[in-house]
Structure 1
Amino acid sequence: MVALKSSVNRWIWSSKASFMGAYPSGHQAVVPFAKKKRNEYIEDPPDEEVADDFTDEMEEDFDDAKEDEGDVMDDDEEYEDDYDFEDDFESDDEQDLYAGDGGAGGGISLAGAWWDKEALALAEQVSASFNDDLKIYAFKTAANLTIRVRIEKMSTRYGSPTIDDIEAYTIAYRAKLDEAESAGKIPKNISLEVSSPGVERVIRIPEELERFKERAMYVRYTTASDEATTPQEGDGVLTLISYDMDLRECTWGIADVKINRQQSGKGRPLSKKQREWRLQTPFESLKLVRLYSEC
């Protein structure tokens, strides 16, 4: 399976004195941050000697790339092996992730504490106060008095909230929690974390297929086989070709992304066999579908 990355905007607000030190005025431990992608990291300029070495390496890579240009496989050339996804799709984190887990998989997950249903109700009230534009994508409580909320912005195409949206939701929700603490409806010293779903969010099937149909997706699925007594599991980075809500099934092709192109060889595009490969599967056979990002 593919090792997928996560990038989210996040606000953390804690009333615990041990969380970022003591704050005498109460709930003031507010720590906004946004994780940077690797291509956004800015380093100090290298010294002249290092820069020269870097230039030499770039020139060597450029020469190698030029040599590879003549090796691109012709569309009519026979693809030697049947298409199969690489073993490096394996990832323990991906195995643990599932739709509706209350975290990266979205949905609601309550710890079973006496206060968590009240906390969820308050979070839903806050969403309603934003005219349901900032809706709950995931909500999770923990026995250590922690609430984690992921929100999505419904007025944007892919549901991505800004850091200002996350800040506004956090402040409004914290105010609701403070009132509930004073009334004894929830315990004191609850930690709150509000974030976005992330650039590789889990897709809800089938209701979000239309919304994200133009994006490359990591898909884990099962297939029935006449030879096998149990369904076989497969996975890969795919693109949605079509879906049928009446038949409750969809058709996938191989996404034109680097990890798939590399199977044809360095510098080569998708082969003809890769471009023609199709997977038709019912909705219930889709074990996990999430957006895929190469960045």
Structure 2
Amino acid sequence: MAPIRVAVVGMGKIAHDQHLPAIAGNPAFTLAATVSRSDSTVDGVPHFRTLQDLLDHGPDVDAVALCTPPQVRYDLARLALDKGLHVFLEKPPGATVAEVDALAAQAGARGVTLFASWHSRHAAGVAPAKAWLAGRRITGVNVIWREDVRVWHPGQDWIWQPGGLGVFDPGINALSIITHILPDPFFLTEAVLDVPENRAAPIAADLHFRDARGTPIHMDLDWRQTGPQSWDIAVETDGGTLQLSQGGAVLALPGETLRNADEEYPGLYARFAELIAQGQSDADARPLTLVADAFLRGTRRTTDAFFD
């Protein structure tokens, strides 16, 4: 079978650091083109300033990976789907839940694949964590997701604008893990969002959820942490405590600790190829729905101005 010809749209840090190596390492794909308004190009690969330019004048492609900010992703995805292309959405899959639902319906009507990617679900410890939790009674969950925004998102003003999610940009990674590994659905009961006085999106958030059994789930998000970063999930069960740390890369179970190689983006592209081969889509919007609920129900608290 010929490789899937994929174009990467949006040539920022995540495209260079993760997408391009994952595509190069998967024989199911070949990098056919790049698209960006910047001059960030790849040697020997055709480059276009817009997706429309690529579609009008470029080589044939079978799929696009959209790595742009979420606020502009819907129109790009709709254009690609309308042309019969498979679409890989970097996380979060859109600026609103309704956008993702509309794209999923369009992909279904066109008979092409829409993949809402959640890279943290492919961290090494996540699949064994899900298997270990199956059938166990969960009594509580605590998530601490704290990092330094100046390290991970320097100068990225879009992330502070409406639709950019603020601290939920990393926080949604934790939500993507716990919506995947916990056996029961859960929902928000209360939230406090700390919003800098000069920004539109929160820099920190304290959230409480519960599932239908009443199990409490607490999440502490903060973008002001310096020094060591905290990406930790603890799940209390009748069989002991499960700990996921380093964003899901390390799993500690009672009596053992598992650590494997980082396979997040290679895993995403393996999944994308599988979906295309099967003629299916995977557009799970549950993590984004929970973020939307936090904005809907959360109390906004003004905090000190933030300057990058």
Q: Normalised by the size of structure 2, how large is the TM-score?
A: 0.21
Computing the radius of gyration over CA atoms, which structure comes out larger, 1 or 2? 1
Where is the helix percentage greater, Structure 1 or Structure 2?
2
